Structure 1
Amino acid sequence: MRKTILIPTDFSVQSLSVLKSILGNNSSKNNFNIVLTHGYTLSNSIMDLLFYSKNQQINELKTSEFNQALEVIKNKYQSQINSITIKLFNGFTVAAFNTFLEANCIEEIFIADQKMNFKNKKSFNLGPFIKKCNGKFTTVNVTSFSEATVKDKVAEVFNQMSIG
């Protein structure tokens, strides 16, 4: 059965631990359409909006470590992943978030039990929208990454996957 899920991301390796947990504990062997979503406030400047590109903004927010970890997850769980897309949510209201969920056919939202670390001042937490929306959401307990360098975090994802 194919299921479309949303996972909020801050484009850190740690934020992918929710995805890894879902795929690693998938006993029903569902196939997933995964929508990684990031809250991002648009500029008020007309010039900025004229030249705004969601894909360019996503590429600026992603890190090479995030890309590497995402590729590892894609390779390890390719039989369970139908698609992975990354989208920005630019709304300000719960109604706008509900419309976003409906437009993307989201069946369930999975959030981490840990706080996200946003590095861009225009990024915002989707948690308040998720908790008030019409969609079903599940909080996932993820093992905390140790305070280590980013390289160690990527290596930790590799090690957890080879063990699990």
Structure 2
Amino acid sequence: MKKNVLIPTDFTIESLNVVKFLLQNRPNDCRYNIILLHGAQAPDTITELLFFSKSKMLASLSNRSFEEACGVIKNKYASGIASMRTDLFSGYTQAAFNNYLLANRIEEIYIPNSYHLHAKNPKSIDLLPFITKCKQPVNKIEWKTEALLPEKGSLAEIFYNGVVAN
């Protein structure tokens, strides 16, 4: 069985913990089409609209360590991932967000409970108000975040499972 899920991202390795949690706790017969979604304001001048490119915007938001971490997750959980891609939402209204969910056939949304997504640039927008008002099931994921984790912000962080050794 395939499921289409949406997970908001800020293009940090830490935001991928939601993906990792989802895949570690999936039913054996389930594969996911995962959309990692970031919110950004649409260009508001004619000139900006003419030269706007979603792929260029995504490339400017992403970074090498995030891409590598996505690759590691895809390899480690290959049996649970049908597809995984990043996308950009640039709407202003709840109706636009609901239409995005409908067009992408999103069945569930997973969000971090204690981790707050950071704006990557001045045009970034917070998707949580849209997510909390939508009709799709929203699952809040909790994980431990350690401020003193030596691998914080590096690729090794994706292997951290939340268990703290004493």
1:57 paired with 2:63, answer no
Q: CA deviation at 1:22?
A: 0.4
Partner Cα distance (1:148, 1:49) in 2 = 42
Q: What residue ranges of structure 1 are gaps of 5+ in the alignment?
A: none
1:154 paired with 2:155, answer yes
Partner of 2:97: 97
Partner of 1:70: 70
Seen in structure 2, the aligned counterparts of structure 1 residues 48 and 121 have a Cα distance that, compared at 3 Å, is same
Q: What residue ranges of structure 2 are gaps of 5+ in the alignment?
A: 162-166
Q: Which residue identity is paired with 2:40?
A: Y
Deviation string 1:56-83 (CA, Å, 9 cap, x unpaired) is 1101100111111111100100111001
Deviation string 1:74-116 (CA, Å, 9 cap, x unpaired) is 0100111001121111111111110000000000000001211
1:14 paired with 2:14, answer yes
Partner of 1:132: 133
Q: CA deviation at 1:51?
A: 1.1
Relative to the length of structure 1, the TM-score reads 0.91
Q: CA deviation at 1:151?
A: 6.5
How many residues are paired up? 161
Mapping for residues 29-40 of structure 1, pairs under 5 Å = 29-40=29-40
Partner Cα distance (2:84, 2:146) in 1 = 23
Partner Cα distance (2:116, 2:154) in 1 = 17
SS at match of 2:99: helix
Partner of 1:142: 143
SS at match of 2:78: coil
Relative to the length of structure 2, the TM-score reads 0.90
Q: CA deviation at 1:53?
A: 0.8
Q: CA deviation at 1:27?
A: 3.1
Instruction: State, as a whole percentage, how many aligned pairs show the same letter.
Output: 42
Partner of 1:24: 24
Partner of 2:164: none
* TM superposition outliers: structure 1 runs of 4+ over 4 Å: 147-152
What's the RMSD between the two structures over aligned residues? Answer: 1.8
Seen in structure 2, the aligned counterparts of structure 1 residues 94 and 56 have a Cα distance that, compared at 3 Å, is same
Q: CA deviation at 1:149?
A: 7.1
Partner Cα distance (1:103, 1:66) in 2 = 26
